[in-house]
Structure 1
Amino acid sequence: MLFRFRFVLSIRIGAALPHSFCSFSDAFPSFGDRILIRRDNFNRNRPRILKRNEKSLLAENRQGISTATDCATLVLFCQLGAPSAEESWILFTQRAKRMKHHANEISFPGGRIEQGESVETAAIREAEEEIGLDPNDVELWGTLRPLFFGEAGVVTPVVATIGQNVEQRLASLRCADAEVQNIFMASVSDLLARIHYTTFRFSGKPSDDKMPFFFRMPIFHSTKPRLLCNSSLVNCPEKFRIWGLTARTLLEALNAFLPEDAKEREASELLRTVKTDNSC
Protein backbone atom coordinates (compact mmCIF):
# COMPACT_ATOMS: atom_id res chain seq x y z
CA MET A 1 0.00 0.00 0.00
CA LEU A 2 1.53 3.33 -1.07
CA PHE A 3 1.32 6.17 1.40
CA ARG A 4 3.06 9.37 2.25
CA PHE A 5 3.60 10.87 5.63
CA ARG A 6 4.86 13.96 7.34
CA PHE A 7 6.27 14.70 10.77
CA VAL A 8 3.89 16.80 12.87
CA LEU A 9 4.81 16.63 16.55
CA SER A 10 7.14 14.89 18.96
CA ILE A 11 6.52 14.94 22.73
CA ARG A 12 8.30 13.20 25.55
CA ILE A 13 5.76 11.49 27.79
CA GLY A 14 7.81 8.86 29.57
CA ALA A 15 8.22 10.93 32.71
CA ALA A 16 4.46 10.86 33.34
CA LEU A 17 4.30 7.09 33.48
CA PRO A 18 4.56 5.39 36.87
CA HIS A 19 7.92 4.05 38.03
CA SER A 20 6.16 1.23 39.85
CA PHE A 21 5.50 -0.43 36.51
CA CYS A 22 9.18 -0.43 35.63
CA SER A 23 10.70 -2.21 38.59
CA PHE A 24 9.91 -4.21 41.69
CA SER A 25 11.20 -3.85 45.24
CA ASP A 26 11.77 -6.61 47.77
CA ALA A 27 8.51 -5.54 49.42
CA PHE A 28 6.62 -7.18 46.55
CA PRO A 29 5.44 -10.81 46.67
CA SER A 30 7.55 -13.70 45.40
CA PHE A 31 8.58 -13.99 41.74
CA GLY A 32 5.75 -16.39 40.93
CA ASP A 33 3.20 -14.12 42.59
CA ARG A 34 4.47 -11.09 40.65
CA ILE A 35 4.01 -12.95 37.39
CA LEU A 36 0.44 -13.75 38.45
CA ILE A 37 -0.15 -10.08 39.28
CA ARG A 38 1.05 -9.08 35.81
CA ARG A 39 -1.16 -11.71 34.19
CA ASP A 40 -4.19 -10.60 36.20
CA ASN A 41 -3.60 -6.98 35.17
CA PHE A 42 -3.31 -8.06 31.55
CA ASN A 43 -6.54 -10.05 31.63
CA ARG A 44 -8.38 -7.21 33.35
CA ASN A 45 -7.17 -4.40 31.12
CA ARG A 46 -6.83 -5.86 27.63
CA PRO A 47 -10.54 -5.64 26.65
CA ARG A 48 -10.25 -1.86 27.18
CA ILE A 49 -6.84 -1.16 25.69
CA LEU A 50 -6.78 2.28 24.07
CA LYS A 51 -9.39 3.96 21.93
CA ARG A 52 -10.11 2.00 18.78
CA ASN A 53 -9.14 3.56 15.51
CA GLU A 54 -11.04 2.86 12.33
CA LYS A 55 -8.55 0.39 10.93
CA SER A 56 -8.58 -1.69 14.11
CA LEU A 57 -12.36 -1.79 14.00
CA LEU A 58 -12.17 -3.09 10.44
CA ALA A 59 -9.75 -5.77 11.58
CA GLU A 60 -11.90 -6.86 14.50
CA ASN A 61 -15.12 -6.99 12.48
CA ARG A 62 -13.73 -9.26 9.77
CA GLN A 63 -15.03 -12.79 9.81
CA GLY A 64 -12.37 -15.49 9.98
CA ILE A 65 -8.66 -15.37 9.23
CA SER A 66 -7.08 -14.97 5.81
CA THR A 67 -3.96 -17.12 5.74
CA ALA A 68 -2.85 -15.33 2.59
CA THR A 69 -2.30 -12.04 4.41
CA ASP A 70 -2.89 -12.30 8.16
CA CYS A 71 -0.04 -12.64 10.65
CA ALA A 72 0.63 -13.33 14.31
CA THR A 73 3.45 -11.93 16.45
CA LEU A 74 4.78 -12.95 19.87
CA VAL A 75 5.24 -10.34 22.60
CA LEU A 76 7.45 -12.17 25.11
CA PHE A 77 7.64 -10.66 28.57
CA CYS A 78 10.16 -11.73 31.26
CA GLN A 79 11.30 -10.74 34.75
CA LEU A 80 15.08 -10.29 35.03
CA GLY A 81 17.47 -9.12 37.72
CA ALA A 82 18.12 -9.64 41.40
CA PRO A 83 15.01 -9.80 43.62
CA SER A 84 15.66 -6.33 45.03
CA ALA A 85 16.09 -4.79 41.56
CA GLU A 86 13.98 -7.00 39.33
CA GLU A 87 12.58 -5.44 36.17
CA SER A 88 10.18 -6.27 33.38
CA TRP A 89 11.87 -6.94 30.02
CA ILE A 90 10.45 -7.53 26.54
CA LEU A 91 12.08 -9.49 23.70
CA PHE A 92 12.64 -7.99 20.25
CA THR A 93 14.37 -9.03 17.06
CA GLN A 94 16.09 -7.03 14.35
CA ARG A 95 15.22 -8.26 10.90
CA ALA A 96 17.99 -9.41 8.58
CA LYS A 97 19.56 -6.94 6.16
CA ARG A 98 18.57 -8.96 3.11
CA MET A 99 14.88 -9.34 3.94
CA LYS A 100 12.66 -8.26 1.06
CA HIS A 101 10.37 -6.24 3.32
CA HIS A 102 11.23 -4.12 6.37
CA ALA A 103 14.92 -5.08 6.38
CA ASN A 104 16.89 -4.01 9.48
CA GLU A 105 13.74 -2.97 11.33
CA ILE A 106 12.93 -3.92 14.91
CA SER A 107 10.10 -6.41 15.25
CA PHE A 108 8.54 -9.08 17.38
CA PRO A 109 8.98 -12.70 16.27
CA GLY A 110 6.12 -13.64 13.99
CA GLY A 111 4.82 -14.27 10.50
CA ARG A 112 2.01 -15.62 8.35
CA ILE A 113 -0.72 -17.77 9.83
CA GLU A 114 -0.81 -21.09 8.02
CA GLN A 115 -3.94 -22.98 7.05
CA GLY A 116 -5.65 -24.48 10.10
CA GLU A 117 -3.49 -22.64 12.64
CA SER A 118 -4.69 -20.47 15.49
CA VAL A 119 -2.96 -17.13 16.01
CA GLU A 120 -1.31 -18.52 19.15
CA THR A 121 0.07 -21.56 17.33
CA ALA A 122 1.37 -19.40 14.49
CA ALA A 123 3.12 -16.97 16.85
CA ILE A 124 4.85 -19.78 18.75
CA ARG A 125 5.85 -21.62 15.55
CA GLU A 126 7.34 -18.48 14.03
CA ALA A 127 9.26 -17.72 17.23
CA GLU A 128 10.68 -21.23 17.21
CA GLU A 129 11.76 -20.86 13.58
CA GLU A 130 13.24 -17.36 13.92
CA ILE A 131 14.92 -17.42 17.34
CA GLY A 132 14.88 -21.07 18.45
CA LEU A 133 12.37 -20.52 21.26
CA ASP A 134 11.21 -23.83 22.77
CA PRO A 135 7.38 -23.86 22.81
CA ASN A 136 7.50 -25.79 26.09
CA ASP A 137 9.19 -22.82 27.77
CA VAL A 138 6.36 -20.40 27.03
CA GLU A 139 3.25 -19.59 29.05
CA LEU A 140 0.60 -17.94 26.86
CA TRP A 141 -1.45 -15.11 28.36
CA GLY A 142 -3.72 -14.19 25.45
CA THR A 143 -4.03 -11.93 22.43
CA LEU A 144 -4.16 -8.18 22.00
CA ARG A 145 -6.46 -6.35 19.62
CA PRO A 146 -5.75 -7.17 15.95
CA LEU A 147 -3.95 -4.38 14.11
CA PHE A 148 -4.41 -3.50 10.44
CA PHE A 149 -1.12 -2.92 8.62
CA GLY A 150 -1.61 -2.33 4.92
CA GLU A 151 -0.05 -5.01 2.73
CA ALA A 152 0.64 -7.14 5.82
CA GLY A 153 -3.08 -7.53 6.40
CA VAL A 154 -4.24 -8.00 9.97
CA VAL A 155 -1.57 -8.68 12.61
CA THR A 156 -2.64 -10.23 15.93
CA PRO A 157 -0.15 -9.92 18.81
CA VAL A 158 0.06 -12.83 21.25
CA VAL A 159 1.37 -12.05 24.75
CA ALA A 160 3.39 -14.70 26.61
CA THR A 161 6.00 -15.06 29.33
CA ILE A 162 8.84 -17.31 30.42
CA GLY A 163 8.13 -17.96 34.07
CA GLN A 164 10.91 -20.31 35.18
CA ASN A 165 14.66 -20.64 34.53
CA VAL A 166 14.50 -17.46 32.49
CA GLU A 167 18.23 -16.85 32.10
CA GLN A 168 18.92 -20.40 30.96
CA ARG A 169 16.13 -20.34 28.40
CA LEU A 170 17.07 -16.96 27.00
CA ALA A 171 20.70 -18.10 26.67
CA SER A 172 19.58 -20.93 24.38
CA LEU A 173 18.06 -18.62 21.75
CA ARG A 174 19.67 -18.51 18.31
CA CYS A 175 19.24 -16.28 15.26
CA ALA A 176 17.96 -17.73 12.01
CA ASP A 177 20.42 -15.79 9.84
CA ALA A 178 18.10 -15.59 6.84
CA GLU A 179 15.47 -13.73 8.88
CA VAL A 180 17.02 -12.30 12.05
CA GLN A 181 20.29 -10.45 12.65
CA ASN A 182 19.84 -9.61 16.35
CA ILE A 183 17.83 -10.79 19.35
CA PHE A 184 17.74 -8.44 22.31
CA MET A 185 15.81 -7.63 25.46
CA ALA A 186 14.71 -4.10 26.39
CA SER A 187 13.69 -3.19 29.92
CA VAL A 188 10.35 -1.48 30.34
CA SER A 189 12.02 1.30 32.34
CA ASP A 190 14.34 2.02 29.41
CA LEU A 191 11.50 1.96 26.90
CA LEU A 192 9.30 4.29 28.96
CA ALA A 193 12.10 6.78 29.58
CA ARG A 194 12.01 8.12 26.03
CA ILE A 195 8.61 7.61 24.42
CA HIS A 196 7.81 10.09 21.69
CA TYR A 197 5.07 10.09 19.12
CA THR A 198 4.69 11.47 15.66
CA THR A 199 1.76 11.84 13.29
CA PHE A 200 1.68 10.12 9.90
CA ARG A 201 -0.60 11.26 7.10
CA PHE A 202 -2.06 8.51 4.92
CA SER A 203 -3.61 9.34 1.56
CA GLY A 204 -7.32 8.62 1.27
CA LYS A 205 -8.89 6.15 -1.13
CA PRO A 206 -11.73 6.81 -3.63
CA SER A 207 -14.01 4.55 -1.58
CA ASP A 208 -13.35 6.83 1.39
CA ASP A 209 -14.14 10.10 -0.44
CA LYS A 210 -10.38 10.57 -0.93
CA MET A 211 -10.14 12.01 2.56
CA PRO A 212 -6.75 11.48 4.23
CA PHE A 213 -6.50 10.24 7.77
CA PHE A 214 -3.84 10.51 10.42
CA PHE A 215 -2.20 8.05 12.78
CA ARG A 216 -0.44 9.27 15.89
CA MET A 217 2.36 6.75 16.13
CA PRO A 218 4.57 6.07 19.15
CA ILE A 219 8.35 5.85 18.85
CA PHE A 220 10.36 4.00 21.51
CA HIS A 221 14.12 3.93 22.07
CA SER A 222 16.06 1.08 23.64
CA THR A 223 19.29 2.76 24.73
CA LYS A 224 20.44 -0.03 27.06
CA PRO A 225 19.53 -3.24 25.23
CA ARG A 226 20.63 -6.63 26.47
CA LEU A 227 21.92 -8.59 23.49
CA LEU A 228 20.94 -12.25 23.56
CA CYS A 229 22.20 -13.37 20.17
CA ASN A 230 23.40 -11.79 16.98
CA SER A 231 23.91 -13.24 13.55
CA SER A 232 27.46 -14.07 12.52
CA LEU A 233 26.89 -11.73 9.59
CA VAL A 234 26.45 -8.45 11.51
CA ASN A 235 27.55 -6.39 14.48
CA CYS A 236 25.09 -5.34 17.15
CA PRO A 237 24.14 -1.63 17.41
CA GLU A 238 24.47 0.10 20.75
CA LYS A 239 20.82 1.15 20.73
CA PHE A 240 17.62 0.47 18.82
CA ARG A 241 14.76 2.63 17.55
CA ILE A 242 11.33 1.01 17.70
CA TRP A 243 8.58 2.44 15.53
CA GLY A 244 5.79 1.48 13.12
CA LEU A 245 3.74 -1.65 13.75
CA THR A 246 6.16 -2.87 16.43
CA ALA A 247 5.75 0.36 18.41
CA ARG A 248 1.96 0.22 18.07
CA THR A 249 1.99 -3.37 19.32
CA LEU A 250 4.33 -2.48 22.18
CA LEU A 251 2.14 0.42 23.28
CA GLU A 252 -0.94 -1.79 23.34
CA ALA A 253 0.94 -4.41 25.38
CA LEU A 254 2.23 -1.84 27.87
CA ASN A 255 -1.24 -0.40 28.33
CA ALA A 256 -2.46 -3.83 29.35
CA PHE A 257 -0.24 -3.53 32.42
CA LEU A 258 -0.44 0.17 33.21
CA PRO A 259 -2.63 1.43 36.04
CA GLU A 260 -5.96 2.84 34.94
CA ASP A 261 -5.13 6.43 35.91
CA ALA A 262 -1.97 6.48 33.79
CA LYS A 263 -3.80 4.89 30.89
CA GLU A 264 -6.52 7.55 31.02
CA ARG A 265 -4.05 10.40 31.47
CA GLU A 266 -1.53 9.67 28.75
CA ALA A 267 -1.55 6.56 26.63
CA SER A 268 -5.22 6.26 25.68
CA GLU A 269 -4.83 9.19 23.26
CA LEU A 270 -1.77 7.92 21.41
CA LEU A 271 -3.46 5.67 18.86
CA ARG A 272 -6.42 7.25 17.19
CA THR A 273 -7.54 8.11 13.67
CA VAL A 274 -8.56 11.68 12.94
CA LYS A 275 -10.61 12.28 9.80
CA THR A 276 -9.89 15.61 8.17
CA ASP A 277 -10.20 17.33 4.83
CA ASN A 278 -7.59 17.54 2.11
CA SER A 279 -6.50 21.03 3.12
CA CYS A 280 -4.88 19.78 6.34
Structure 2
Amino acid sequence: MTSPSPQSLLSKLPNFDPRLIPVEGVDSHLAAVPLASLQPAALRQRFAFPPVWAPELLAEKKFMDRAPMHASVLVPIVMREQPTVLLTERTQHLSTHSGQIAFPGGKVDEDDVDAAATALREAQEEVGLDPSFVQVLGVMPHYVTGSSFIITPVVALVEPGFTLTPNANEVADVFEVPLAFLMNPAHHQRHSFEWEGVRREWFSMPYQDDATQRFIWGATAGMLRNFYRLLSA
Protein backbone atom coordinates (compact mmCIF):
# COMPACT_ATOMS: atom_id res chain seq x y z
CA MET A 1 0.00 0.00 0.00
CA THR A 2 1.30 3.48 -0.85
CA SER A 3 2.37 5.52 2.16
CA PRO A 4 0.57 8.83 2.70
CA SER A 5 2.48 11.87 1.54
CA PRO A 6 3.71 14.53 3.95
CA GLN A 7 1.27 16.91 2.27
CA SER A 8 -1.74 14.77 3.15
CA LEU A 9 -0.54 14.33 6.71
CA LEU A 10 -0.12 18.07 7.02
CA SER A 11 -3.80 18.72 6.32
CA LYS A 12 -3.89 19.64 10.02
CA LEU A 13 -0.45 20.71 11.10
CA PRO A 14 -0.60 19.60 14.77
CA ASN A 15 -1.24 16.00 13.65
CA PHE A 16 1.41 15.57 10.98
CA ASP A 17 4.15 12.95 11.20
CA PRO A 18 7.56 14.70 11.43
CA ARG A 19 9.38 11.46 10.59
CA LEU A 20 8.24 11.86 6.98
CA ILE A 21 9.86 15.26 6.51
CA PRO A 22 13.37 14.95 4.97
CA VAL A 23 16.47 15.97 6.91
CA GLU A 24 17.93 19.16 5.45
CA GLY A 25 21.13 19.15 7.45
CA VAL A 26 22.97 17.93 10.52
CA ASP A 27 25.07 20.22 12.71
CA SER A 28 28.09 17.93 12.98
CA HIS A 29 30.34 20.95 12.36
CA LEU A 30 29.55 22.23 15.87
CA ALA A 31 31.52 20.95 18.85
CA ALA A 32 29.89 18.67 21.40
CA VAL A 33 29.73 19.82 25.00
CA PRO A 34 32.73 18.22 26.80
CA LEU A 35 31.79 15.31 29.03
CA ALA A 36 33.30 17.05 32.06
CA SER A 37 30.83 19.91 31.57
CA LEU A 38 27.89 17.50 31.87
CA GLN A 39 28.73 16.34 35.38
CA PRO A 40 26.63 17.60 38.32
CA ALA A 41 29.31 19.89 39.78
CA ALA A 42 29.88 21.56 36.41
CA LEU A 43 26.14 22.01 35.84
CA ARG A 44 25.72 23.58 39.27
CA GLN A 45 28.59 25.95 38.48
CA ARG A 46 27.10 26.89 35.12
CA PHE A 47 23.81 27.96 36.70
CA ALA A 48 25.46 29.63 39.70
CA PHE A 49 27.67 31.71 37.39
CA PRO A 50 25.95 31.75 33.99
CA PRO A 51 27.93 32.94 30.98
CA VAL A 52 26.77 35.54 28.50
CA TRP A 53 24.69 33.56 26.04
CA ALA A 54 21.59 33.78 23.89
CA PRO A 55 18.98 31.09 23.19
CA GLU A 56 18.84 30.04 19.56
CA LEU A 57 15.11 29.34 19.55
CA LEU A 58 12.47 31.44 21.28
CA ALA A 59 9.16 30.94 19.48
CA GLU A 60 7.59 28.66 16.92
CA LYS A 61 5.29 30.01 14.24
CA LYS A 62 1.74 29.83 15.52
CA PHE A 63 -0.53 27.09 14.20
CA MET A 64 -3.30 27.15 16.81
CA ASP A 65 -5.56 30.15 17.35
CA ARG A 66 -6.13 30.42 21.09
CA ALA A 67 -5.12 32.56 24.04
CA PRO A 68 -1.54 32.04 25.30
CA MET A 69 -1.11 29.84 28.37
CA HIS A 70 1.83 29.78 30.74
CA ALA A 71 3.43 26.43 31.53
CA SER A 72 6.60 24.98 32.99
CA VAL A 73 8.53 21.83 32.21
CA LEU A 74 11.15 20.04 34.25
CA VAL A 75 14.41 19.26 32.44
CA PRO A 76 15.40 16.39 34.78
CA ILE A 77 19.07 15.38 34.58
CA VAL A 78 19.52 12.07 36.36
CA MET A 79 22.89 11.92 38.12
CA ARG A 80 24.03 8.54 36.86
CA GLU A 81 27.69 7.76 36.13
CA GLN A 82 26.92 9.12 32.68
CA PRO A 83 24.10 11.67 33.24
CA THR A 84 20.80 11.16 31.44
CA VAL A 85 17.69 13.21 30.71
CA LEU A 86 14.34 11.81 31.82
CA LEU A 87 11.70 12.16 29.11
CA THR A 88 8.12 11.05 28.57
CA GLU A 89 6.04 9.92 25.63
CA ARG A 90 2.62 11.54 25.72
CA THR A 91 -0.48 9.40 25.22
CA GLN A 92 -2.21 9.50 21.84
CA HIS A 93 -5.55 10.90 23.01
CA LEU A 94 -4.28 14.19 24.47
CA SER A 95 -5.65 17.34 22.84
CA THR A 96 -2.24 18.90 22.11
CA HIS A 97 1.10 17.33 21.17
CA SER A 98 -0.30 13.80 21.50
CA GLY A 99 2.22 10.98 21.13
CA GLN A 100 5.18 13.34 21.24
CA ILE A 101 8.32 13.09 23.34
CA ALA A 102 8.19 15.69 26.09
CA PHE A 103 9.63 16.83 29.38
CA PRO A 104 7.38 16.34 32.41
CA GLY A 105 5.40 19.52 32.85
CA GLY A 106 2.19 21.39 32.30
CA LYS A 107 0.12 24.50 32.82
CA VAL A 108 0.67 26.89 35.71
CA ASP A 109 -1.84 26.66 38.56
CA GLU A 110 -2.79 29.78 40.51
CA ASP A 111 -1.38 28.18 43.68
CA ASP A 112 2.09 27.66 42.16
CA VAL A 113 4.54 30.14 43.69
CA ASP A 114 6.92 30.09 40.71
CA ALA A 115 7.94 28.19 37.58
CA ALA A 116 9.92 25.63 39.58
CA ALA A 117 6.88 24.85 41.73
CA THR A 118 4.83 24.22 38.60
CA ALA A 119 7.47 21.94 37.10
CA LEU A 120 7.95 19.93 40.30
CA ARG A 121 4.21 19.55 40.86
CA GLU A 122 3.57 18.49 37.27
CA ALA A 123 6.48 16.01 37.30
CA GLN A 124 5.06 14.40 40.44
CA GLU A 125 1.54 14.28 38.97
CA GLU A 126 2.64 12.98 35.56
CA VAL A 127 5.33 10.43 36.40
CA GLY A 128 5.37 10.22 40.20
CA LEU A 129 8.80 11.85 40.59
CA ASP A 130 9.15 12.69 44.29
CA PRO A 131 10.46 16.29 44.67
CA SER A 132 12.77 15.12 47.47
CA PHE A 133 14.98 13.56 44.76
CA VAL A 134 15.14 16.82 42.76
CA GLN A 135 17.52 19.77 43.09
CA VAL A 136 16.50 22.73 40.93
CA LEU A 137 19.47 24.48 39.29
CA GLY A 138 17.68 27.32 37.55
CA VAL A 139 15.52 28.28 34.60
CA MET A 140 16.12 28.96 30.93
CA PRO A 141 14.39 31.60 28.79
CA HIS A 142 10.76 31.13 27.77
CA TYR A 143 10.03 28.95 24.76
CA VAL A 144 6.74 29.67 22.96
CA THR A 145 5.15 26.78 21.09
CA GLY A 146 3.04 26.99 17.96
CA SER A 147 0.11 25.88 20.13
CA SER A 148 0.46 29.07 22.24
CA PHE A 149 2.12 27.64 25.35
CA ILE A 150 4.65 30.00 26.94
CA ILE A 151 6.98 27.45 28.53
CA THR A 152 9.58 28.03 31.23
CA PRO A 153 12.16 25.20 31.22
CA VAL A 154 13.31 24.41 34.79
CA VAL A 155 16.62 22.55 34.82
CA ALA A 156 17.20 20.19 37.75
CA LEU A 157 19.44 17.40 38.97
CA VAL A 158 17.72 14.17 40.00
CA GLU A 159 19.25 11.79 42.53
CA PRO A 160 19.04 8.12 41.39
CA GLY A 161 16.94 5.76 43.48
CA PHE A 162 13.54 7.27 42.67
CA THR A 163 10.52 5.16 41.77
CA LEU A 164 8.20 6.36 39.03
CA THR A 165 4.43 5.84 38.80
CA PRO A 166 3.37 7.34 35.45
CA ASN A 167 -0.14 8.70 35.06
CA ALA A 168 -1.53 6.37 32.40
CA ASN A 169 -3.98 9.01 31.22
CA GLU A 170 -1.16 11.36 30.18
CA VAL A 171 2.02 9.31 29.85
CA ALA A 172 2.47 6.31 27.56
CA ASP A 173 6.13 5.74 28.49
CA VAL A 174 9.03 7.15 30.50
CA PHE A 175 12.65 6.68 29.47
CA GLU A 176 16.14 8.19 29.76
CA VAL A 177 18.48 9.47 27.05
CA PRO A 178 22.20 10.10 27.68
CA LEU A 179 22.83 13.82 28.15
CA ALA A 180 26.03 13.49 26.10
CA PHE A 181 23.98 12.30 23.12
CA LEU A 182 21.63 15.26 23.34
CA MET A 183 24.46 17.78 23.82
CA ASN A 184 26.26 16.62 20.67
CA PRO A 185 25.09 18.63 17.61
CA ALA A 186 26.08 15.73 15.36
CA HIS A 187 22.71 14.34 16.51
CA HIS A 188 20.79 17.58 15.83
CA GLN A 189 18.90 17.25 12.55
CA ARG A 190 17.28 20.21 10.77
CA HIS A 191 13.90 19.99 9.05
CA SER A 192 11.59 22.44 7.34
CA PHE A 193 8.27 22.40 5.53
CA GLU A 194 6.13 25.06 3.91
CA TRP A 195 2.48 24.97 4.97
CA GLU A 196 -0.15 27.48 3.94
CA GLY A 197 2.56 29.80 2.69
CA VAL A 198 4.52 29.71 5.96
CA ARG A 199 7.92 28.06 6.23
CA ARG A 200 8.21 26.08 9.46
CA GLU A 201 11.56 24.85 10.77
CA TRP A 202 12.47 22.55 13.63
CA PHE A 203 15.13 20.23 15.03
CA SER A 204 14.93 16.51 15.67
CA MET A 205 17.23 14.31 17.77
CA PRO A 206 16.26 10.69 17.05
CA TYR A 207 17.62 8.30 19.68
CA GLN A 208 17.68 4.54 19.28
CA ASP A 209 16.71 3.01 22.63
CA ASP A 210 17.09 -0.79 22.37
CA ALA A 211 14.43 -1.70 19.77
CA THR A 212 12.62 1.65 19.96
CA GLN A 213 13.50 4.86 18.17
CA ARG A 214 12.66 7.86 20.33
CA PHE A 215 11.91 10.66 17.88
CA ILE A 216 12.64 13.80 19.89
CA TRP A 217 11.60 16.87 17.93
CA GLY A 218 9.76 20.18 18.02
CA ALA A 219 9.54 22.07 21.32
CA THR A 220 11.45 19.43 23.29
CA ALA A 221 14.30 19.42 20.77
CA GLY A 222 14.19 23.23 20.66
CA MET A 223 14.62 23.56 24.42
CA LEU A 224 17.42 20.98 24.36
CA ARG A 225 19.11 22.98 21.60
CA ASN A 226 18.93 26.08 23.82
CA PHE A 227 20.41 24.04 26.67
CA TYR A 228 23.24 23.09 24.34
CA ARG A 229 23.83 26.79 23.62
CA LEU A 230 23.94 27.54 27.35
CA LEU A 231 26.42 24.75 28.10
CA SER A 232 28.66 25.52 25.14
CA ALA A 233 28.75 29.29 25.67
TM-superposed deviation, 1:199: 2.8
Residue 174 of structure 1 pairs with residue 165 of structure 2: yes
1:115 aligns with 2:100: no
Q: Is the 8 A contact 1:69 1:151 kept in 2?
A: no
- SS state of the match for residue 209, structure 2? coil
The Cα offsets for residues 230-250 of structure 1, whole Å up to 9 and x where unpaired, read as: xxxxxxx61200111111111
Q: SS in structure 2 opposite 1:151? A: coil
Q: How far apart are the structure 1 equivalents of 2:27 and 2:86?
A: 22
CA distance in structure 1 between the partners assigned to 2:173 and 2:150 by the alignment: 25
Determine if the alignment matches structure 1 residue 251 to structure 2 residue 187.
no
Contact 1:143 1:159 in 2 (8 A): yes
Instruction: Work out the CA distance in 2 between the residues paired with 1:188 and 1:144.
Output: 17
Contact 2:55 2:230 survives alignment (8 Å): no
Query: Counterpart of 1:20?
Result: 34
Q: Cα 1:47–1:151, aligned 2, differ >3 Å: closer, same or farther?
A: farther
Aligned to 1:135: 131
TM-score computed with the length of structure 2 as normaliser: 0.76
Structure 1 vs Structure 2 CA RMSD: 3.1
Per the TM alignment, residue 18 of structure 1 is displaced from its structure 2 partner at its CA by 2.9
Distance in 2 (CA, whole Å) between partners of 1:45 and 1:244 is 26
Tell whether the 8 Å contact from 2:206 to 2:215 is kept in structure 1 after alignment. yes
Residue aligned with 1:48, SS: coil
TM-score of the superposed pair, with normalisation by structure 1 = 0.65
Show the 5 A alignment for 1:1-280: 10-14=24-28, 16-18=30-32, 20-21=34-35, 34-45=39-50, 48-51=53-56, 55=59, 69-81=69-81, 87-117=82-112, 118-162=114-158, 164=159, 166=160, 168-169=161-162, 172-191=163-182, 192=184, 193-201=186-194, 212=198, 214=199, 216-224=201-209, 238-258=212-232, 260=233
* Partners of 2:57 and 2:212 in 1: CA distance: 35
Deviation at 1:200, TM superposition (A): 4.6
CA contact (8 A) 2:89 2:174 kept: yes
For residue 252 of structure 1, what is the amino acid of its counterpart? N
Q: 1:253 to 1:202 in 2, by over 3 A?
A: farther
Larger Rg: 1 or 2?
A: 1
User: Which secondary structure does the structure 2 equivalent of 1:122 belong to?
Assistant: helix
Q: Indicate the percent of aligned positions where both proteins have the same amino acid.
A: 22
**Aligned-residue offset at 1:51:** 4.3
- Deviation of residue 40 (structure 1)? 1.4
The equivalent of 1:208 in structure 2 is none
- Amino acid paired to 1:221: P
Structure 2 Cα separation of the partners of residues 46 and 128 of structure 1: 31
Tell me, yes or no, if the aligned pair for 1:201 and 1:215 is still in contact at 8 Å.
yes
Q: Distance in 2 between matches of 1:51 and 1:241?
A: 21
CA distance, structure 1, for counterparts of residue 178 and residue 45 of structure 2? 20
Shift of 1:251: 1.1
Q: Which amino acid aligns with 2:188?
A: I
Which runs of 5 or more residues in structure 1 are unaligned?
57-65, 82-86, 205-211, 226-236, 261-280
Instruction: Give the Cα–Cα distance (whole angstroms) in 2 for the partners of residues 202 and 154 of structure 1.
Output: 23
**Are residues 3 and 98 of structure 1, via their aligned partners in 2, closer, same or farther at CA, if it must alter by over 3 Å?**
closer
C-alpha displacement of 1:36: 2.1
| Kept in 2: contact 1:157–1:249 (CA 8 A) | yes
Unaligned runs of 5+ residues in structure 2 are 1-11, 61-66
| Residue range with higher mean Cα deviation, 12-21 or 68-77 | 12-21
Deviation readout 1:80-111 (Å, 9 max, x if unpaired): 23xxxxx2211100001222222211000011
- Larger % of helix: which? 1
Relative to structure 1, is the Cα distance of residues 49 and 202 closer, same or farther in structure 2, using a 3 angstrom cutoff? Answer: farther
